């Protein structure tokens, strides 16, 4: 899918699965829970697609329970404690992300992060992976609503003193595209990310991008 988008004044990004490959540390947090219960680790290939869904997705795959089920809340607390203890052991930026952010800045544009990760993790992680210079950082608990509600994206635009339609939003999950569209932002589906159990072609994003370099090419023509 290819579409020429209006030139942005800022580019906003989801974090997990879009800017950063956090799946190794998220998977380790839930697999620690399994090994402590005498269970074999869940295969990484089964955990990676749901990494963007955080505790809900990972505990769902690893233990077959979800929010509302008996024991889930306690497991969620345990999972988050494990993750906090080893938040940036295997996490790295995806290939090409550094160059993309440099290209955005070279055009005189700003970039920011809009994630559903709680702020207590976002605020620790961003400096550890070289993203402390984001122009704004909106976490899942920054506003009263998380994605797919558009309010986190509206808040990012407010902090940048921009109209929502002047920002591109890039994400690797259906919720990202839903939030971006509801906010009136041009949306880019990050096909290199986790993408859950659905395909980006089904999300109705304005553009599907297969790499950070693809976005650099798009910016060069705006």
82 neighbors 54 (Cβ within 8 angstroms): no
Q: Which residues of 114-150 are buried (b: 16+ CB within 10 A; e: fewer)?
A: bbbbbeebbeebbeebebeebbbbbbbebbeebbbbb
All residues at 6 or more sequence positions from 214 whose CB lies less than 8 Å from its CB, including other chains: none
Nearest to 93 by CA among 27, 25, 192, 19: 19
What is the token pair recorded at 133?
């210079």
- 14, 166, 176, 206: which is the annotated catalytic residue? 14
CA distance 40 to 23: 18
Strands 187-190 and 207-209: parallel
Alpha carbon of 177 to those of 58, 61, 105, 128: distances in Å?
Answer: 21, 23, 24, 27
Active site residue 14: yes
DSSP reduced 3-state for 191: coil
Nearest to 23 by CA among 56, 54, 60, 51: 51
12 neighbors 111 (Cβ within 8 angstroms): yes
Catalytic residues: 14
């Amino acid at each position: 899918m290819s579409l020429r988008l209006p030139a942005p004044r800022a580019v906003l990004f989801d974090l997990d699965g879009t800017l950063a490959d956090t799946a190794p540390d998220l998977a380790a947090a839930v697999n620690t829970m399994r090994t402590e219960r005498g269970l074999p680790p869940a295969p990484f290939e089964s955990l990676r697609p749901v990494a963007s869904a955080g505790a809900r997705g990972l505990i769902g795959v690893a233990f077959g329970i979800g929010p509302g089920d008996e024991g889930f809340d306690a497991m969620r607390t345990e999972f988050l404690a494990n993750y906090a203890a080893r938040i940036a052991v295997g996490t790295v930026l995806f290939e090409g992300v550094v160059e993309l952010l440099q290209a955005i800045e070279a055009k005189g544009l700003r970039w920011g992060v809009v994630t559903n990760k709680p702020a207590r993790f976002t605020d620790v992680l961003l400096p550890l992976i070289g993203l402390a210079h984001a122009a704004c950082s909106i976490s899942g608990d920054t506003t009263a609503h998380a994605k797919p509600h558009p309010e986190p994206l509206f808040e990012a635009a407010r902090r940048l003193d921009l109209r929502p339609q002047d920002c591109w939003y890039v994400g690797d999950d259906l919720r990202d595209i839903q939030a971006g569209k509801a906010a009136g932002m041009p949306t880019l589906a990050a096909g290199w990310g986790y993408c859950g159990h659905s395909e980006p072609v089904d999300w109705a994003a304005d553009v599907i991008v297969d790499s950070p370099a693809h976005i650099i090419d798009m910016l060069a023509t705006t």
